[in-house]
Structure 1
């Protein structure tokens, strides 16, 4: 049991210091700069759809082509938007977030290995 405790303290990393580091703050700022605007956009778009469905029934029931209505197109647009946002985030994360997160993780792993 004492071996486990000494091994745990040997490779101790100051995670609070890592969290307060400039690189970690940059990582969080980069992620938030993408997530918050898109989340706001999507919530506004979603609630607009719900409000239109509740209060603009005649508008949503307008036929566009055959049995296809404005409401159906906007509802399908919700799914398309969800997939588009997901694909955009994955591309953004692969390009901007993951490289920085990998650097931080590798630095921590080296520090733990050196301890």
Structure 2
């Protein structure tokens, strides 16, 4: 198991299960186990408390040879992603996204704050009857729900009509470019 807050275990910590011994974070397996060592591919030496020996405070170098080779291809793949991010097509998708989301968020937030301010500062206005037992506050509250659903529908429609196709093409192109960098391995 992972050490608590980077502190070493005490003698009363109890028995360690076989999974704890072999996960690469606990004690090393004994030599009579045939030098069996399990290197976790998801291991992150930068995470707090992980990979630290009991009391030394220094991370244990547990980098697999395959991970070293992957680091070289990651650098090239990162270049591909940066190239795509700087492309005009990506910027157009982001611009379309912002042109819808920013005004929609501002309008909905103003509508919400207006409702809350009116409810707290003008209770006599909110108490006016609209139809029968329904007053302005109830109608505005139901209007909050209605505008939430309306905004959700409008966002999904905008994404489907204006961004999804371009984003899918960018994704396809990016996968093709990274596939070429990795040498055909996916």
TM-score > 0.5, shorter chain as reference: yes
**Corresponding residue for residue 3 of structure 1:** 66
Question: Which residue matches 1:67?
Answer: 133
33, 40, 43: which one pairs with 2:109? 43
Structure 1 window deviating more from structure 2 (99-108 vs 8-17): it is 8-17
Distance of 1:9 and 1:84 partners within structure 2: 47
Superposition misfits of 4+ residues, deviation over 6 angstroms: none
Q: Which runs of 5+ in 1 are unaligned?
A: none
| Per-residue deviation, 1:8 | 4.9
Query: How far 1:7 sits from its partner (Å)?
Result: 4.1
- Residue in structure 1 matched with residue 160 of structure 2 by the alignment: 94
Q: Larger % of helix: which?
A: 1
Tell me which structure has the larger Cα radius of gyration: 2
Cα deviation digits, residues 22-43 of structure 1 (max 9, x gap): 1111111000000001111101
**Alignment of 1:22 onto 2:85:** no
Aligned to 1:57: 123
Classify the secondary structure of the residue corresponding to 1:28: helix
Give the whole-Å Cα distance in 2 for the aligned partners of 1:16 and 1:114.
16
Q: Distance in 2 between matches of 1:10 and 1:42?
A: 44
Instruction: Please report the RMSD computed on the Cα atoms of aligned residues, expressed in angstroms.
Output: 1.4
Confirm whether residue 112 of structure 1 aligns to residue 175 of structure 2: no
Counterpart CA distance in 1 for 2:158 and 2:135 is 34
Aligned residues: 115
CA drift of 1:107 comes to 0.4
* Structure 2: gaps spanning 5 or more residues: 1-63, 182-186
What CA distance in whole angstroms lies between the structure 1 residues aligned with 2:159 and 2:102?
14
